[in-house]
Amino acid sequence: MFDGFEIADVDVGEASIHVRHGGDGPPLVLLHGHPRTGATWHRVAPLLVERGFTVIVPDLRGYGRSSAPVPRPDHSQASKRAMADDILSLMRTLGHDRFDLVGHDRGSYAAFRLAMDHPDVVRRVALLDCLPIVEHLDRITPEFATEWYHWFFFAQPEVPERVINADPDAWYHGDPEAMGVENFAERREAIHRPEVVRAMLEDYRAGLTVDRADEEADRSTGRRLTVPTLVLWSLRDDLERLFGDPLAIWRDWAVDVRGHGIDSGHHVAEEAPEQLTRDLSAFFSGEG
């Protein structure tokens, strides 16, 4: 995976961020989701390098080979603002003062927070398979609660750790052929470390507490994304079925938003890398 990319572990203060980076051109950061690592981008990142980007692929704090602070009672160590600050420090260390940004799944919340808080740093942002957390919570239905029950299960103290660590492979199953053998192996190594499982659960606990409060504060004051925003969603996932047109919701949160669905399941970077690369390249090149 990531042939020609450099690999580093960068101290950003509270955490050490494991990162792959390569290419020569405008800097573009790719943030993964749960329970993946940066390796989920292994089919997309080289294609973006071929299209002229410098591509930076970190593991979020607590995921994969990045470290995480000890959990706090308020879960703030796993907040998306903390994750966003990690990426900001990482990029400055790598010599990039302004950059483009992509986030998928949980990584999209870190990308959203970074673009919201630092529009002077983020040039454009793409958000994949997500809505703001408070928009999900405002639309809780029996269908959402059933299909997305993990949000609320993960928020419980201690029990999820015991359940998942008893058999991580059974909980986080996956197909090595579909994911890519090395990507699957990297994720498998991570989920067998209890400290990673704990940190990933803390991500969700922060989502329902400190991150929700941050979004509610944004909404109450009318704060919106001011950078050009691309929203993409997987047509064979359940986002559109549960919530309708994602763009209609995101228009309340972004000044300049566009996007569409992609014929893929949820893990779009693994399942539809060529289409995703075309869409991202067009957007970040100013063509779409």
Identify the structural domains of the chain with CATH numbers, from first to last. Answer: 6-284 (3.40.50.1820)
Residues of the chain with confidence (pLDDT) below 50: none
- Dig out the tokens for 119 from the structure: 């529009």
Reported pTM: 0.97
User: pLDDT, tens digit, for every residue of 146-194?
Assistant: 999 999 999 999 999 999 999 999 999 999 999 999 999 999 999 999 9
Confirm if 101 and 115 have CB atoms less than 8 A apart. yes
Residues labelled as active-site residues: 105, 266
pLDDT of residue 288: 62
User: How much is the mean pLDDT over the chain?
Assistant: 97
